[in-house]
Structure 1
């Protein structure tokens, strides 16, 4: 792309999905963009090798694809992902009260209760995309209509747990639905009520790119580089003063605008500010295993904690819960087991007793004894890994906000100063890829309106 005279320069701190998406959007409007990433581009979405197979880490599911299509429309790009429906959609949830497939299929005993739950959430469906992609401003009619729809559906119930209790659902269905509060990185008692609605709003529209989640990373890199974005991997930033960056090696770079796509607590430290510790969202232990033959498991299995109350108490105390939320994703000989853990930054290894205990629980509940015994190779990412990426304690979604301040109704501090903005999961928290991509669209719009 040929630069015009007077093009302004933008430095983006962090080359995760949010940083790469915003980089492409800003470059498409003529800015000269450089992305500074201390490790490899992709953030939590990266490729790892084990047993001769490649694994895409990070997000496992692609939901609300209209947000991705909004990114493509703004970039005027065709969709390169070839999204395919995921068999079983959100998967079977193995609750203490019995297994529950979501969405509940025809003929299932829980179907009438599922349909009642879906009807309760349905009025929000036309507005969810607006909530994900529109700046939370009280002078924006579209946002006001969408937030009013959300408040009508959630009523006086601030948390996911409170909203579900009010529905008076059978225990198995309530337990399965409460699991999706973890999309906010919080227990059901702490997550906004919106997260209790996610299974109804997603339904069976759960996707995965035909060639893996890594194709999203490839596409964003390609979009940015085609527009002149420079991606500097291995270029960590050690200090930020105004719009001047000092890199780890001592190199000094100045830009007209800085956008941080790193955790707000890490950004504060780069600016020389003190950070007061507070509640954090969850971390995790991700085990990726290459098996000699395809596993008989379905594409997605969800094993919630036996007690959300005990789970919440353990996380708040920084202790390892007796039983945790576990996601099991099977794709031929590739197996991913994702354990929810407290954000303590601990290097939980494969032979740690807690990890071993949770893996045995998976084997028992899914009736797959010795699940990993024949693995040809494994890769494990743990809270210490996520902490090295800049998340305090390895908290995947950063700080934990109270239920009334979380989700799309909270006026996030996208703009810190005229020349310093923020984007990413620590700023537009929860919801996985839709929130990350939607947050980048929001910041791009706000920057354009501010004259950038």
Structure 2
């Protein structure tokens, strides 16, 4: 997705562009067909639509995604202290507490899109203002866990907010404080394209084709020579004026013949279960089951072990259900018959009061850490390596420019998370390249 996003911008600037993709175009985001119904894999929520609008403006394109609010916003959070919808409605007993939380985060809201879409430069007054706004909101509390604890929220709300730290692919103790602020920043704008998340991929492909970008799907790059701006394919070498990698930095290092540091902590991976049921599901559009104990959960992830219970994100629409389970990034396959998988699915069924998911489904499909590892990240990790708190969020952990002829783009470089990071990172690299050529 990052490669397609940047390719369209570079094509619009008049550059001849070729995109090489080892598999199908779009990486993690594609359409999965089950008994006549389509599932969109990859990101399941569309957030920060203002970043999408900035991207469209850069291409002088109209918005044809037809974004529609997701019923129930961020969903019903099944915490150990009871179920909690986010955002909380006015009639909820904890609504005043939710308002206090939103008010605490509100000063950052006008600056979030800036942090997602401009280079992190200390010489840029716009970036400095946005970063200062973030600093005033988080104060001395660098991790999501420390920020939440400092606010003295009630246990149900605190547990629900901790859940969103996993948008960073990390436990609340290891995720930047920014991720504890996400529910207040996105709860009112959670949406999905009318045609499903796959519509975004289709739009990006169209933008590329309209700008004469050459799209070479199922064409894996086997080696990269940065000095010559050359890629090795199966049957030939191709030389270009400039290379931009949308791969995980560790995978890029392998292709360059460089040593890859072993033993680094990784962000989490996932197990995605897609199912079609005989009858429509009587469930909320989104249900979230956090780990019951984030400390135990963290210990398991750090040991690359399956936790006693994990984050489960459940989407339901008609006869379609998607259950996304957080797992350690080991790259190992997990089958539907694995006892741990059965146990986690059973937990979902009991918590939601739903019919058996695996036993009664008409059709199912599974995508596990082994699948995501084949897409190029270590162990199938969602955002690659885990970085210290001070190298996270707006202070990106990897450089965009590796040399005069080799650049990087994508969520492993700009870990804002999901679609906003993909589009924002493309806007950043496009701007930096434009400035170097000026």
Give the alignment's TM-score, normalised by structure 1. 0.95
Q: How do 1:243-258 and structure 2 match up within 5 A?
A: 243-247=229-233, 249-258=234-243
Does 1:287 pair with 2:273? yes
Task: Identify the match of residue 86 of structure 1 among 70, 85, 88.
Answer: 70
Residue matched to 1:357: 343
Deviation of 1:411 after TM superposition, in Å, equals: 6.0
Q: What per-residue deviation string (whole Å, max 9, x for no partner) do you get for residues 286-326 of structure 1?
A: 00111222100110000000000011000000000110000
Q: CA RMSD in A?
A: 0.9
Q: Distance in 1 between matches of 2:419 and 2:194?
A: 17
Moved over 4 A (4+): none
Structure 1 pair 411–346 and aligned structure 2 pair: CA distance change class (3 A) = closer
1:204 and 1:364 map into 2 onto residues whose CA distance is: 29
The Cα shift of 1:203 comes to: 2.4
SS in structure 2 of the partner of residue 450 of structure 1: helix
Per the TM alignment, residue 48 of structure 1 is displaced from its structure 2 partner at its CA by 1.1
- In structure 2, stretches of 5+ residues that fail to align are none
Q: 1: distance between equivalents of 2:399 and 2:154?
A: 39
- Deviation (angstroms), 1:250: 2.9
Contact 1:147–1:409 at 8 Å: present in 2 too?
no
1:29 to 13, 34, 43: 13
2:77 pairs with 1:126? no
Long gaps (5+) in structure 1:
1-16
Q: 2 CA distance for matches of 1:408 and 1:254? A: 33
Q: Which residue of 2 aligns with 1:6?
A: none
Aligned equivalents of 1:215, 1:203: Cα separation in 2: 22
Kindly indicate whether the alpha-carbon contact (under 8 Å) linking 1:52 and 1:290 is maintained by their aligned counterparts in 2: no
Equivalence for 2:95: 111
Question: Any conservation in 1 of the 2:290–2:311 contact (CA below 8 Å)?
Answer: yes
Q: Please, which of 341, 363, 381 is the counterpart of residue 327 of structure 2?
A: 341
1:67 Cα deviation after fit: 0.3
User: Aligned pair 1:204/2:201, yes or no?
Assistant: no
One of 178, 184, 204 as aligned partner of 1:220: 204
Partner Cα distance (2:397, 2:277) in 1: 46
Q: Does 2:300 correspond to 1:314?
A: yes
Q: Within 5 Å, which residues of 2 pair with 1:50-449? A: 50-242=34-226, 243-247=229-233, 249-277=234-262, 278-410=264-396, 412-449=398-435
Cα separation, 2, equivalents of 1:356 and 1:53: 24
Q: Give the Cα separation in 2 of the matches to 1:411 and 1:328.
A: 31
Deviations along 1:347-400, one digit per CA (max 9) or x if unpaired, are 011111111110000001111131333211111000000000101000011110
- Select between 199-208 and 382-391 the one with higher mean Cα deviation: 199-208
